[in-house]
Amino acid sequence: MTGHMTIGWKENIALPDWGIDAMTAKLDTGARGSAIDVARIEMLDDNRVRFDVILDRGAATRFRTVEAEIAGEVRVRSSNGILQRRVRVRTRVLLGGVEKVTEFSLVSRKRMIHRVLLGRRFMGGSFLVDSGRRYVLGKPLSAKKKKRARKHP
């Protein structure tokens, strides 16, 4: 078990390929795969997809439009038990200085608390989740602190 970083069940991540510096993710050992909250999924030519990543659950108007190659499709049983087909895309995830490529199912998570869910495939071999703790790697910046940080690099 050496070399595994201990993390909380909720942590901050970055998605550098998509220009997203900070998002809160739920680390879910009960989920095999990972999912991200998106809107307006548009299938494109050449096996690509365009979608809006919802950045803030309190403000769906805060989003980042992303275009990515389709990694595949998956049938997923959602938390309410309904079987769904979802498009999957692959991108880099940065968590606590560790960078890993993972696949995300694109789905509306507007009724869920967390915009991003990271499952066992992402965590395997790198992380141990302490289910009694959150933000082990550091608390997220408040909106005020984020604004100040942008003004003073």
CATH classification of the domain holding 77: 2.40.70.10
Angle, CA 109 vertex, CA 6 and CA 12 arms, to 5°: 30
pLDDT band at 144 (very low <50, low <70, confident <90, very high): very low
Do residues 30 and 21 lie in contact, with contact meaning Cβ atoms separated by under 8 Å? no
Q: Is the pLDDT of residue 113 over 60?
A: yes
Strands (E), 16-142: 20-27, 34-44, 48-54, 63-77, 83-95, 98-107, 116-118, 127-130
Percent share of the chain, pLDDT over 70: 84
List, as one string, the DSSP characters of 8-21.
ESEEEEEEGGGTEE
Report the domain count for the chain. 1
pLDDT tens for each residue of 17-38: 999 999 999 999 999 999 999 9
Please tell me which residue, 146 or 24, carries the higher pLDDT value: 24
pTM over 0.85: no
Distance (Å, rounded) from C-alpha 42 to C-alpha 102? Answer: 21
pLDDT exceeds 90 at position 150? no
Q: Residue 128: how many CB atoms within 10 A of its CB?
A: 11
Take residue 105 and report the two structure tokens written for it: 């199912």
Question: Is residue 148 pLDDT above 60, yes or no?
Answer: no
Spell out the alpha helix ranges (H) of 33-142. Answer: 120-123
Confidence of residue 85 (pLDDT cuts 50, 70, 90): confident
Q: What is the pLDDT of residue 2?
A: 59
Residue 62 CB-half CA count within 13 A = 10
Instruction: Please compute the mean of the pLDDT values over residues 65-86 and round it to a whole number.
Output: 86
Q: Please compute the mean of the pLDDT values over residues 132-151 and round it to a whole number.
A: 66
Structural domain boundaries, residue 131: 5-151
Instruction: Please identify which residue in the block is written with the tokens 């003004």.
Output: 151
